[in-house]
Amino acid sequence: AQSVAQPEDQVNVAEGNPLTVKCTYSVSGNPYLFWYVQYPNRGLQFLLKYITGDNLVKGSYGFEAEFNKSQTSFHLKKPSALVSDSALYFCAVREYGGSQGNLIFGKGTKLSVKP
């Protein structure tokens, strides 16, 4: 069965510093991987996805993610954090490794960026 793990409940960084939010996955077949962000009392906003191709994926708001097949990881990164990046981040994998199937989410990582 497909699964996603986000090993950190919370990540704290200072504004202007680089940030990394970790995600590892377990899938059979080729993974379809996603990152979403959730602000308080809001729905999920799509940040970026990896389907195939370049291992470094660029997304919204300056975020990027690196797909590493050998380490089965898909870490979210940003070179310079902003206070407004503080939110809950979810990594997800599509269940059947294709365009169909539901999303399986990690537990989420709370990112806190301090001025």
Partner 1 sequence: KAGVTQTPRYLIKTRGQQVTLSCSPISGHRSVSWYQQTPGQGLQFLFEYFSETQRNKGNFPGRFSGRQFSNSRSEMNVSTLELGDSALYLCASKEATEAFFGQGTRLTVV
How far apart are CB 15 and partner 1 at their closest, in Å? 27
In degrees to the nearest 10, what's the CA dihedral of 6, 8, 10, 12?
Answer: -120
90 binds partner 1 (CB under 8 A): yes
Residue 29 to residue 112: CA distance in whole angstroms: 34
106 binds partner 1 (CB under 8 A): yes
The region of 16-24, 57-65, 74-82, 98-106 touching partner 1 under the rule CB under 8 A is 98-106
Give the one residue of 28, 53, 99, 115 binding partner 1; rule: CB under 8 A. Answer: 99
Residue 48 · residue 58 · CB < 8 Å: yes
The region of 15-23, 40-48, 58-66, 72-80 touching partner 1 under the rule CB under 8 A is 40-48
Residue 87: half-sphere exposure toward Cβ, Cα within 13 Å: 19
